[in-house]
Amino acid sequence: MKEKVLVTGGAGYIGSILVESLLRGKYDVTVVDNFTYSNLSLSHLFHYKNLKVINLDIRDRDLYKKYIKKSDIIIPLAALVGAPLCDAQPKNASEINVNSNMFMLDNLSKNQKLIMPTSNSAYGVGDENNFCDENSELTPLSKYAKDKVKIEENVMKRKNSISLRLATVFGVAPRMRTDLLVNDFVFKSYFDGYLVLFEPHFKRNYIHVRDVSKAIIHMINNFNKLKSNIFNVGLSNANISKFELANRIKKFMPELVIKIESFKKDKDKRNYIVSNKKIENTGFKPSYQLNDGIKELIKYYSTQKKYPQGNV
């Protein structure tokens, strides 16, 4: 058996993909999750003998500490994810996204490996050309992004740590989210037949959920060479505006109506172009392009009724 990996929030959108990849890679995996959105996303994995699943809120520090100490690699995915959810539950967001992660850091030995998924939402806006790389100034706009920045600062004080600044994630997962931008746009396009865009020039970067898992596995496999680094994780050919994204979707749904409204501002002011060259130079190459995700999402939505699945 390979190393012992602890995945908190392992039943979530990213976790439900990552855990399966780790199990197939013969890692000894422990999932800690409070199953806010049920345990069904892991139901197809319980037959794996190298899987342990613990129903636990990471705010239960005595029990959480027990599982931290038993692990060789820690991948903390348990979080309140996204600005709307953190704004709606600021106390819980602080307790889970900040305090519980600080507790984890305080209880890691120097030899334990930490791979911390953070967010490129920390960039807020780029430079005068909207460009960002790992050395760019961070200007987080939301509580969610500010908390991610705070944790990353503390994570990178440890030698045996890696931070992955994830682009906006898209694609289908066992614990589905339809509130992420690409997933949301395709959802509305499929079920409503139209999109209303506010401030359509705002640009984001994107990455498929399975490529997030792939990037984490890449970090595990190359940890000693890549540790003590921050990496952006996104598609270099998918630094596109909301308007460009809408038109990309329209290629697959020609009847889609795209309407731009100027009377309302977007609450989410993020606007940046992100470089992913640093991780690409390590040999990491995404397997899924934006068009792949759009087609996958259309296929998924065609099998269900109009049923939003989000964090809020």
> Residue 243 maps to which CATH number?
3.90.25.10
Domain assignment of residue 173, yes or no:
no
Same domain, 19 and 103: yes
Residue 85 belongs to a domain: yes
Q: Is residue 310 part of a domain?
A: no
Note whether 116 and 245 are same-domain residues.
no
In a domain, 136, yes or no: yes
Rg (CA), the chain: 19
Q: Report how many domains make up the chain.
A: 2
Quick one: 229 and 246 in the same domain?
no
Range of the domain at 254: 181-205+237-301
Residue 312, domain member (yes or no): no
Q: Give me the pLDDT at residue 266, please.
A: 72
Task: Note whether residue 288 is domain-resident.
Answer: yes
Question: What CA–CA distance (Å, rounded) separates 214 from 18?
Answer: 8
Residues 246 and 291 in one domain: yes
What SS3 state is found at 286?
Answer: coil
Residues of the chain with pLDDT under 70: 1, 126-128, 312
Non-local (6+) Cβ contacts of 312 within 8 A are 82, 84, 85, 88, 179
**Confidence (pLDDT) at 126:** 63
Residue 265 located in a structural domain? yes
Same structural domain, 78 and 189: no
Which two three-digit tokens encode residue 292?
């792949």
Whether 186 is in a domain gets the answer: yes
For the entire predicted model, the pTM comes to 0.95
pLDDT in the model for residue 1: 60
Confidence (pLDDT) at 269: 78
pLDDT at 229: 98
pLDDT at residue 214 in the model: 98
